[in-house]
Structure 1
Amino acid sequence: MTRKVCVIGWPITHSRSPLIHNFWIGKYGVEDALYERFAVRPEDFAATLRDLPKLGYIGANITVPHKEAAFAALELHDATARRLKAVNTLVMTPKGFEGRNTDGYGFIANLRERAPGWSPAAGPAVLIGAGGATRAIAAALEAEGAPELRIINRTKARAEALVTELELRNARVYEWEEANSALSGANLLVNTTTLGMNGEGEIEFSLEMLPRSALVTDIVYTPLETGLLARARLQGLATVDGLGMLLHQAVPGFEAWFGIRPEVTAELRALVLADMGIVEK
C-alpha cells in the first residue's frame, strides 16, 4: 500500500513541498511513497483532518491558514507545537496524529548552513512582525541562547501579547518609529512579515544602526533577494535568504514519516529555484 503524505492549505497550488519531498523520495529510494497537495477550505478542515487516515495518509504538512486550527483539532502535540499553539507537521502514532511544529528548527538550520560561524548567542536579535512565524522564530532563538529579543511591530499590543503568551524572557517590544533604538548593537535582524514579498510593499526604515557584524535575514523567498536583503548587502552586511527555511523545516517530517533523515543539498536548492524560474550564480 502506498504511504501517502500531503500538504494541506488554502490555496495550495503555490506550495513547493511536493517538489521537495518527492525529490527526497526518489533520491533515497523510498518505495511505495507519494507526497501530494491537498486543497482544503477552512470550513472543511476539521472534517478533512479526521478523514486523513481513512484516505491512506500517514502524515501531512499544514500551511496557511490552518496551522492554528490543526493545533485546536488535535489531542496530541509535541512541546514546541504546544507552546506555539500551531502545527505544521502531522505524524501518525499509535494514539493518532501528533501535531508538531518545525518552523523554528528550519529557521535556525538555514542560518547555520548559510552563515557558518554565526551564533544566536552573540547578541540581541531583532524581529520585525508579531504573527505566527514570529512566534516560532522567537521561541527558537530564545532556545538557542539569544540573550535578548527585540520585537518591532506596527501594533504594539499584538507584540506584547506574543511576549506574554510565549512567556519570553528578556524580550522587549518596540514601536515602528523606534527601529533605530532596536537595531543598535543587534546581532541579527529578521523580517518575519510578508513585507518584501512581490506586491506586498517594503520595509523602509534605515539599517544604519546595525553593527557591521550583524546578520540580516528574511523569511520571504519570492523574490529570493528582498528589498531588505538588497539594502543590507549594499551596506556590507551578511545576508541569508528565506528559501533555506522552507527546505530545512521539511527535514524532521520526512524523517518521521519514512525513517530516513534527508539532507538539504545544493541540488535540492537548485531544483526549487528552477521551479521559481531562478538560476543562482
Structure 2
Amino acid sequence: MLASNNPKQFGLIGYPLGHSFSADFFSQLFEREHIAAYYTPYELSSIDLLGPLLQKQTNLYGLNVTSPYKEAVVEYATELSAEVVATGAANVLHIRRDARGQVKHIAAHNTDIIGFRDSLLPYLPDLSGAKALILGTGGAAKAASYALEQLGIDACLVSRSPREGTIGYDSIEAYLPEARLIVQATPVGLRCGEVVLFPYEKLTDRHLCYDLIYNPSETGFLAEAKRQGAQTKNGLEMLHKQALAAWEIWQTP
C-alpha cells in the first residue's frame, strides 16, 4: 500500500479518451483497497507531448497507453519487456524517478497480451483446431496476434493496405470456413453507426467474434455478427485483466 502522505499518480495517454473506462476502474480499485493514489487521463493530441508531461508531473509513476500511441510510445522507454520487443507495441509504462522527481528509467510492457489471452481461455475448447483473423495491424492487433501464438492458434492479420504477412478485406471470405475466431482490433465502432466492412452473411454459430472495443458495449461489428448467430464478446474483460496486470507492474520496486 502506498504511503498516504505522498500519494503517487498514475494515468492514461491516448487520443481521444472519451470512451475510456480506465480512470473509473483505477479510482474504484484505489478506493476499494484503501490505496493512497490517484489516476488521471491525459488526452494528448501528439505523442510529442509525452516528454513535457513526464517532466511536469513529477509524481507520475505509471501510464497506461491506448490508441494511437501503443507503437510510438516504445521510443520513450529505456527498457523493453520481451513482449514489447516481439510486438513493437506497449500499453504500460513503469516510470522510476530520482529523489528530485526527475525521470531516471522508463520500462515498457504489454499487458494487452495477458488481458486478451486470459479472457479467451474459456472459449478454447470450442475453438479447437480453429484459425483466427485479426482485423487491423496496429498495437492492439499485434498484441492479439502474439497472444494467439502463445495459445497455439494460427492467426492472419487483415489490412486495408495488405502487404506481406497480411491479407486484404476482400480476401476474408475465403478464410472464414477455418477462421472461426474473428478479432476486431481497429478503432472502427467507437463512434455510433460505424460498422466494420466484413462479409457478415458468411458467419455461423461456430464463429466467435471478439471486438476489443468495450465502449459501446455492443459495436456495429458485434451487432451484425450476433444477427448471424455468431458468439460475440467485447473487450471489457480484457480491459480489467490488462489493468490489473499493469497495477502489479507499477507496484514493483
TM-score (norm 1): 0.75
Q: How does 1:201-212 map to 2 (within 5 A)?
A: 201-210=194-203, 212=205
TM-superposed deviation, 1:221: 2.5
Rounded Cα–Cα distance in structure 2 between residues aligned with 1:41 and 1:223? 22
Larger deviation, residues 128-137 vs 62-71: 62-71
The equivalent residue for 1:78 is 81
Asked whether the equivalents of residues 203 and 228 of structure 2 are also in contact (C-alpha less than 8 Å), the reply is: no
Aligned partner of 2:161 in structure 1 is: 155
Superposed displacement of residue 251, structure 1 = 1.1
Match of 2:148 in 1: 141
User: Identity of paired residues, percent?
Assistant: 29
Per-residue deviation, 1:47: 3.4
| CA distance 1:237–1:40, change in 2 (3 Å) | closer
**What is the root-mean-square deviation in Å for CA atoms of aligned residues?**
2.5
Q: How far is the alpha carbon of 1:21 from its aligned partner?
A: 0.8
Cα-to-partner distance string for 1:167-215 (whole Å, 9 max, x where unaligned):
xxxxxx3322222111112231111112233246313432344453221
User: In the TM superposition, what is the alpha-carbon distance from 1:29 to its structure 2 partner?
Assistant: 2.2
Q: 2: distance between equivalents of 1:133 and 1:109?
A: 15
Q: Is the 8 A contact 2:61 2:96 kept in 1?
A: no
Structure 1 equivalent of residue 94 of structure 2: 91
Of the three residues 15, 20, 24, the one matched with 2:29 is 24
Q: Distance in 2 between the 1:153 and 1:64 partners?
A: 17
**Cα distance change on mapping 1:141 and 1:91 into 2, 3 Å:** same
What pairs with 1:111-122 in structure 2 (closer than 5 Å)?
A: 111-112=120-121, 115-116=122-123, 118=125, 122=129
Report what 1:15 is aligned to.
Answer: 20
CA–CA distance in structure 2, aligned partners of residues 126 and 216 of structure 1: 10
Give the count of matched residue pairs.
240
Judged with a 3 Å threshold, the aligned counterparts in structure 2 of structure 1 residues 34 and 104 are, in CA distance, closer, same or farther, namely same
Give secondary structure in 2 for the equivalent of 1:60. strand
SS at match of 2:200: coil
Q: Is the 8 A contact 1:5 1:34 kept in 2?
A: yes
From 215, 219, 237, the counterpart of 1:222: 215
Instruction: Note the residue ranges of structure 2 that are not aligned, 5 or more in a row.
Output: 1-5, 98-103
Match of 1:176 in 2: 169
CA–CA distance in 2 between the matches of 1:184 and 1:88?
33
Separation (CA, whole Å) in 1 of partners of 2:19 and 2:231: 29
**Alignment counterpart, residue 130 of structure 2, candidates 123, 126, 131:** 123
In the aligned structure 1, how far is the partner of 2:18 from the partner of 2:183? 27
Q: TM-score under structure 2 normalisation?
A: 0.83
- Counterpart in 2 of 1:62? 65
Q: Quick check: 1:236 aligned with 2:229?
A: yes
Asked if the contact 1:191/1:219 (under 8 Å) is kept, the reply is yes
User: SS of the counterpart of 2:34?
Assistant: coil
The structure with the largest strand share of the pair is: 2
Judge conservation of contact 2:203–2:225 (CA < 8 Å) in 1: no
> 1:128–1:190: 8 Å Cα contact kept in structure 2?
yes
SS at match of 1:133: helix
Q: Which amino acid aligns with 2:176?
A: L
Q: Is the 8 A contact 2:11 2:64 kept in 1?
A: yes
Does the aligned pair in 2 maintain the 1:186–1:211 contact within 8 Å?
Answer: no
Q: Structure 1 stretches of 5 or more lacking a match?
A: 164-172, 260-281
Q: Could you list the per-position Cα deviations for residues 32-73 of structure 1 after superposition, in whole angstroms to 9, with x for gaps in the alignment?
A: 222222344423222333x27x61122121223333332112
- 1:276 is aligned to none
Q: Is the 8 A contact 1:124 1:188 kept in 2?
A: yes
Q: Which moved more, 1:12-21 or 1:203-212?
A: 203-212
Q: CA deviation at 1:244?
A: 2.0
